């Protein structure tokens, strides 16, 4: 579109592998295909609010060589919702409320005609809200949890599963050497894609995921049945959001100033302790945590984030504002942010994930 001369790009929310590849693709496509100027907005929505030095011009030299880097050269923040924002001014006075107009004004001051916003559900919720205010927005889906609606896959997921699988491979040797049960806690608050994928790829005995409440006795029975067949160790993957029948998730802490204050964690230790008593094998728990978010993105994530970032610029230039890039099969498409937000995807009972796990004897605790 002729009225678009300068675009902004932002990353917000939790970091994940592939963000830099997406930034690179946005920048290279905008400059080389359309002759646009590109401005990177640092520190997510906080940078959009503060303006100034948080707005940096991106040229081809700035994105050279970053495709293999984890994290994001634009940095991130996951606590800054400008539609419900708190900040302290230079006089020490605290302000709270809808500060989104400040962000819109900063975009106008910087001459930014349209935005590519890279993020998960929380980040894209604000993207949708800015679109409602007239900002020309295209969203790019990223999250290691793979739980965004309307798209088959989000970038970051493949790398997270690979990291979890590598950890399981390493833990297998010590589990077998010491005849132990090792419980591996992975991320996944409300969606168990990482958990079930890593369990399949890692050859685990059980996978406990948020979508299928588990009976710990059935997990113990599966381990004992494997022992009766001569297997002297067990590997169990548990997503942080898994919960027992008639039970609830394990909360590690509450962060009051966060838009998502409930932090899960600790279910691995709980499951390990229970299985040691019920299955008769000494048990240990390993919490992978942010290991799954960091490091070098896999080739698949580099390719996917590059496709997403490049196509996002195409959508801007076609005037398809207010949408998110999607992948269906092998084809790129888009769906309205209005339709995407608040409809998070989960592992379904009839999915190939669950079917495959059951076929090869992975216990899901039900």
The token duo for 103 is 């962000």
**Nearest-10 Cα torsion for 291, 294, 300, 304:** 130
The token duo for 307 is 């496709």
The mean pLDDT of 2-13, rounded to a whole number, is 93
Rounded Cα distance, 284 and 144, in Å: 25
Phi, psi of 51 (to 5 degrees): 65, -150
State whether 169 and 222 are in the same domain.
yes
Active site residue ranges? 145
User: What digits encode the pLDDT tens for the residues 277-320?
Assistant: 999 899 999 999 889 988 999 999 999 999 999 999 999 999 99
> Please, are residues 20 and 66 in contact by the beta-carbon 8 Å criterion?
yes
Task: Establish if 364 belongs to a structural domain.
Answer: no
Which of 208, 171, 168 is CA-nearest to residue 363?
208
User: What digits encode the pLDDT tens for the residues 125-156?
Assistant: 999 999 999 999 999 999 999 999 999 999 99
pLDDT above 90 for 343:
no
State whether 225 and 97 are in the same domain.
no
Task: Establish if 179 belongs to a structural domain.
Answer: yes
Q: Provide the domain limits for residue 54.
A: 6-155+297-329
| Burial status of residue 300 (CB atoms within 10 A of its CB: 0-12, 13-18, 19 or more) | middle
CATH number of the domain that residue 72 is part of: 3.40.50.450
> Please, are residues 131 and 137 in contact by the beta-carbon 8 Å criterion?
yes
User: What digits encode the pLDDT tens for the residues 49-71?
Assistant: 999 999 999 999 999 999 999 99
State whether 272 and 207 are in the same domain.
yes
Rounded Cα distance, 184 and 186, in Å: 6
The token duo for 190 is 């409300």
Q: What's the predicted TM-score (pTM) here?
A: 0.92
pLDDT at 151: 95
State whether 252 and 141 are in the same domain.
no
User: What digits encode the pLDDT tens for the residues 71-99?
Assistant: 999 999 888 899 999 888 888 899 899 99
Is beta strand 55-58 parallel, antiparallel or unpaired with respect to 6-11? unpaired
Task: Establish if 92 belongs to a structural domain.
Answer: yes
The token duo for 211 is 């979508």
Task: Establish if 269 belongs to a structural domain.
Answer: yes
User: What digits encode the pLDDT tens for the residues 211-268?
Assistant: 999 999 999 999 999 999 999 999 999 999 999 998 888 776 676 666 666 767 789 9
Task: Establish if 238 belongs to a structural domain.
Answer: yes
The token duo for 126 is 């604000």
pLDDT at 261: 67
Task: Establish if 1 belongs to a structural domain.
Answer: no
Phi, psi of 56 (to 5 degrees): -125, 135
State whether 147 and 17 are in the same domain.
yes
State whether 179 and 285 are in the same domain.
yes
The token duo for 143 is 């999250």
State whether 218 and 270 are in the same domain.
yes
Phi, psi of 232 (to 5 degrees): -100, 10
State whether 229 and 352 are in the same domain.
yes
State the chain's mean pLDDT as an integer: 94
Task: Establish if 353 belongs to a structural domain.
Answer: yes
Secondary structure in 3-state letters for the chain: CCCCCEEEEEECCCCCCCHHHHHHHHHHHHHHHHCCEEEEECCHHHHHHHCHHHEEEECHHHHCCCCCCCCCCCCCCCCCCCCCEEEECCCCCEEEECCHHHHHHHHHHCCCCEEEEEECHHHHHHHHHHHHCCCCEEEEEECCCCCCCCCCCCECHHHHHHHHHHHHHHHHHHHHHHCCEEEEEECCCCCCHHHHHHHHHHCCCEEECCCCCECHHHHHHHHHHHHHCCCCCEEEEEECCCCECCCCCCEEEECCCCCCCEEECCHHHHHHHHHHHHHCCCEEEEECHHHHCCCCCCHHHHHHHHHHHHHHHHHHHCCCCCEEEEEECCEEEEEEHHHHCCCCCCCCCCCHHHHHHHHCCCECCC
Total domains in the fold of the chain: 2
Task: Establish if 190 belongs to a structural domain.
Answer: yes
pLDDT grade, residue 1 (50/70/90)?
low
**Beta pairing partners, 207:** 237
State whether 189 and 285 are in the same domain.
yes
Is beta strand 6-11 parallel, antiparallel or unpaired with respect to 94-97? unpaired
State whether 290 and 302 are in the same domain.
no
pLDDT at 240: 93
State whether 45 and 90 are in the same domain.
yes
Rounded Cα distance, 227 and 281, in Å: 10
User: What digits encode the pLDDT tens for the residues 329-341?
Assistant: 999 999 999 999 9
CATH number of the domain that residue 272 is part of: 3.40.50.460
Which of 4, 71, 51, 61 is CA-nearest to residue 27?
61
State whether 34 and 141 are in the same domain.
yes
């Amino acid at each position: 579109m002729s009225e678009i001369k300068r675009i902004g790009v932002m990353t917000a929310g939790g970091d994940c592998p592939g963000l830099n590849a997406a930034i690179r693709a946005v920048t290279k496509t905008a400059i080389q295909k359309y002759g646009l100027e590109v401005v990177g907005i640092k520190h997510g929505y906080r940078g959009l609010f503060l303006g100034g030095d948080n707005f940096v011009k991106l040229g081809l030299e700035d994105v050279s060589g970053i495709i293999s880097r984890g994290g994001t050269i634009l940095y991130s923040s996951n606590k800054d919702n400008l539609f419900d924002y708190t900040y302290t001014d230079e006089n020490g006075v605290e302000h709270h409320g809808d500060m989104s107009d400040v962000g819109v004004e900063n975009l106008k001051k910087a001459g930014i005609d349209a935005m590519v916003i890279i993020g998960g559900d929380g980040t894209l919720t604000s993207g949708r809200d800015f679109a409602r205010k007239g900002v020309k927005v295209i969203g790019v889906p990223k999250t290691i949890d793979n739980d965004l609606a309307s798209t088959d896959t989000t970038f970051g997921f493949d790398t997270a599963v690979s990291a979890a699988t590598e950890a399981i491979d390493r833990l297998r040797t010590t589990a077998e050497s010491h005849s132990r049960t090792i419980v591996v806690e992975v991320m996944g608050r409300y969606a168990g894609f990482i958990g079930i994928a890593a369990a399949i790829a890692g050859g685990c005995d059980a996978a406990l995921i948020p979508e299928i409440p588990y009976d710990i006795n059935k997990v113990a029975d599966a381990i004992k049945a494997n022992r009766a067949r001569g297997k002297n160790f067990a590997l169990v993957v548990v997503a942080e959001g898994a919960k027992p029948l008639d039970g609830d998730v394990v909360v590690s802490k509450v962060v009051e100033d966060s838009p998502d204050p409930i932090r899960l964690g600790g279910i691995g230790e709980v499951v390990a302790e229970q299985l040691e008593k019920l299955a008769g094998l000494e048990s240990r728990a390993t919490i992978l945590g942010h290991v799954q978010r960091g490091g070098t993105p896999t080739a698949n994530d580099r390719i996917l984030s590059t496709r997403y970032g490049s196509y996002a610029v195409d959508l801007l230039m076609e005037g398809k504002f207010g949408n998110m890039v999607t992948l269906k099969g092998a084809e790129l498409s888009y769906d309205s942010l209005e339709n995407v937000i608040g409809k998070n995807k989960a592992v379904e009972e009839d999915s190939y994930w669950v079917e495959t796990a059951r076929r090869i004897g992975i216990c899901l605790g039900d």
